[in-house]
C-alpha cells in the first residue's frame, strides 16, 4: 500500500457495497465530490532551486498547541462501519503521531473512551439538532472529559440527497433484504468481524435515546434537520465553550469574517467532502478568498478532497494553517484494519509531505506557508502571488 488510491482500492474490495458507498459517496450527481479532488490535482506549485533543506521539520502550532504534523482527522460519524474499532484505532494512532482526531457527535465510540485514548489530541465536533439541551449536555461531557477544542459543524442542517445510499437502501440498523444479505455474504471478513463486535451505533446518544440499543439513523437525520441554525447558535456556543472553538463548513468569505467577529478561534473551509450539495465550490477554490477576508492571523483549516501529502502541501501553500482528512482514514482502516490502517495512512501522508517539502525547498511548515515563495495556481483561474 503506497498511496491513498491503493488504500481505497483495497477498501472497495473488503467492504460490502452498502458500506463502501456510504463512506465513498457524495450528494446528488457527486459533482462536488469530483471537483474537490480535481481542483487539488490542478493546483500546481512551482519549486524553488538552490534552497538547502537536508532535513525537514513537519511540526506546526495551531491555536497554541503544537502538533507533530500539519494535518489531522476530520470528524466522521459511524467510523466503526469501516471496521470494528476504527474510532479507537485512529485516536491511538493520532496521539502517537501527535496529530488531532476530531470525534464526531455521530461517532460510534463515546466521547469519554476517545478522550481517554488520546487525552491531548481529541477534539469534539458538535452537531446541534432539534433539542438544544442534548447539545449542551454533549458539550458538558466533552469539557468533563478534558477536551479543549470544539468543532461546531454548520453545513449539515438538512438531509442531503445521497443517491448511492438511496439506491442501496442504506439504513441503520441495516435492514436485511436479499440484496444486503448477498452483499454481506460476499464480504465474510467484514461481516464476521462486525457481527462479533456488534453493529456500530451512535454511542453518544445512548444516554438520551428512547431505545439506546437500536438508534435509527433516520431519526438522527430528522433531528438534525430540525436544528435552529442562525447566528445566535454561534453566540450560544461561544458563551458556553470556554476553550478553542472552530466553525466547520464555511465556504463564503463574508461568513468567515462574521464568525471571526463573533469570537470563534478558527474556521474549517469545507463542503463536507461533497456530501451535502453538488453545486458548491471545492474547498481549495474557496480558500484564498476566505484567507483574504479574515487576514493572516485567524486560524483557517481546510478539508474536502485531500488525498495525499502533496494535497496537504498545496493547501498550506494556498493559505491554510492546518489540513483535515476524512475518507482517507476510513479507506486506511477498511484496507488494513483498525490498528495498522490508521498508522499506515499517517505514514503514507507523512512520507509524501516530507518528499514534497524536500523537492519544493522547504525545511519547515512555515516555509511551505510562505506562499510568496511559490506560485500556486489553478490553470483555469491563474492567480499571481508575487515572487520571492
Ligand X SMILES: Cc1cc2nc3c(=O)[nH]c(=O)nc-3n(C[C@H](O)[C@H](O)[C@H](O)COP(=O)(O)O)c2cc1C
Catalytic residues: 272
Query: Which residues have CB under 8 Å from 22's CB, separation 6+?
Result: 78, 81, 164, 165, 168, 170
Q: Tell me the backbone φ, ψ of residue 125, rounded to 5 degrees.
A: -100, 130
**According to the binding rule CB under 6 A, does residue 77 interact with ligand X?**
yes
Please give the angle made by the CA atoms of 331, 356 and 272, to the nearest 5 degrees: 40
Stretch that binds ligand X, among 90-98, 114-122, 229-237, 321-329 (CB under 6 A): 321-329
Residues contacting ligand X: total by CB under 6 A: 23
Q: HEC states along 281-341?
A: CCHHHHHHHHHHHHCCCCEEEECCCCCCHHHHHHHHHCCCCEEEECHHHHHHHHHHCCCHH
- Enclosing H/E stretch for 71: strand 71-73
Give the per-residue contact string, 128-167, with ligand X (x = CB under 6 A; - = no): -------------------------x--------------
Which segment (137-145, 234-242, 258-266, 302-310) binds ligand X by CB under 6 A? 302-310
Residue 303 in the binding site for ligand X (CB under 6 A): yes
Candidates 32, 60, 74, 109; binder of ligand X (CB under 6 A) is 74
Q: Quick check: 350 and 335 in contact, CB under 8 A?
A: no
**Which range in 4-12, 209-217, 270-278, 373-381 contacts ligand X by CB under 6 A?**
270-278
H-run or E-run covering 39: helix 31-42
Q: Does 125 bind ligand X (CB under 6 A)?
A: yes
Q: Contact between 23 and ligand X (CB under 6 A)?
A: yes
Shortest reach from residue 196's CB to ligand X, in Å: 22
**Region of 131-139, 271-279, 315-323, 339-347 interacting with ligand X (CB under 6 A):** 271-279
Q: Which residues contact 239 (CB under 8 A, 6 or more apart)?
A: none
Cα separation of 192 and 196, whole Å? 6
- The label of the residue with cell 476530531 reads 102
The residues in 230-269 that bind ligand X, with binding defined as CB under 6 A, are 248
Query: Considering the complex, what minimum distance in angstroms separates the CB of residue 108 from ligand X?
Result: 10
Of residues 326-365, those binding ligand X (CB under 6 A): 326-328
Residues forming contacts to ligand X in the complex (CB under 6 A) are: 23, 36, 74-77, 104, 106, 125, 153, 248, 270, 272-273, 275, 303-306, 325-328
Amino acid at each position: 500500500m503506497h498511496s491513498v488510491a491503493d488504500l481505497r482500492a483495497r477498501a472497495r474490495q473488503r467492504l460490502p457495497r452498502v458500506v463502501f458507498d456510504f463512506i465513498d459517496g457524495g450528494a446528488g450527481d457527486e459533482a462536488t465530490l469530483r471537483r474537490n479532488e480535481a481542483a487539488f490535482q490542478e493546483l500546481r506549485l512551482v519549486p524553488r532551486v538552490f534552497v538547502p533543506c537536508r532535513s525537514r521539520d513537519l511540526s506546526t502550532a495551531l491555536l497554541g498547541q503544537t502538533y507533530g504534523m500539519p494535518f489531522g482527522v476530520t470528524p466522521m460519524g459511524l467510523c466503526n462501519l469501516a471496521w470494528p474499532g476504527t474510532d479507537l484505532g485512529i485516536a491511538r494512532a493520532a496521539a502517537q503521531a501527535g496529530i488531532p482526531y476530531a470525534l464526531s457527535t455521530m461517532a460510534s465510540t463515546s466521547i469519554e473512551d476517545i478522550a481517554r485514548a488520546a487525552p491531548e489530541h481529541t477534539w469534539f465536533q458538535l452537531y446541534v439538532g432539534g433539542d438544544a439541551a442534548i447539545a449542551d449536555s454533549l458539550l458538558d461531557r466533552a469539557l468533563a472529559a478534558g477536551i479543549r477544542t470544539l468543532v461546531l459543524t454548520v453545513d449539515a442542517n438538512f438531509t442531503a440527497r445521497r443517491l448511492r445510499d438511496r439506491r442501496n437502501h442504506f439504513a441503520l440498523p441495516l435492514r436485511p433484504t436479499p440484496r444486503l444479505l448477498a452483499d454481506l455474504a460476499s464480504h465474510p471478513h467484514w461481516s464476521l468481524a462486525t457481527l462479533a463486535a456488534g453493529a456500530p451505533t451512535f454511542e453518544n446518544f445512548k444516554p438520551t435515546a428512547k431505545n439506546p440499543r437500536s438508534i435509527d439513523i433516520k431519526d438522527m437525520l430528522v433531528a438534525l434537520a430540525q436544528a435552529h441554525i442562525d447566528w445566535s447558535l454561534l453566540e450560544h456556543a461561544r458563551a458556553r465553550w470556554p476553550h478553542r472553538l472552530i466553525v466547520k463548513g464555511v465556504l463564503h468569505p463574508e461568513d468567515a469574517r462574521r464568525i471571526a467577529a463573533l469570537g470563534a478561534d478558527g474556521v474549517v473551509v469545507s463542503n463536507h467532502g461533497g456530501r451535502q450539495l453538488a453545486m458548491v465550490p471545492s474547498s481549495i477554490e474557496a480558500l484564498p478568498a476566505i484567507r483574504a477576508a479574515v487576514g493572516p492571523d485567524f486560524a483557517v483549516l481546510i478539508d474536502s478532497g485531500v488525498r495525499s501529502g502533496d494535497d496537504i502541501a498545496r493547501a498550506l501553500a494556498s493559505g491554510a494553517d492546518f489540513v483535515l482528512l476524512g475518507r482517507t482514514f476510513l479507506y486506511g482502516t477498511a484496507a488494513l484494519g483498525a490498528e495498522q490502517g490508521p498508522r499506515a495512512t499517517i505514514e503514507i501522508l507523512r512520507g509524501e509531505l516530507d518528499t514534497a517539502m524536500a523537492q519544493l525547498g522547504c525545511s519547515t511548515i512555515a516555509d511551505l506557508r510562505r506562499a510568496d515563495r511559490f506560485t500556486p495556481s489553478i490553470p483555469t483561474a491563474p492567480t499571481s502571488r508575487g515572487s520571492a
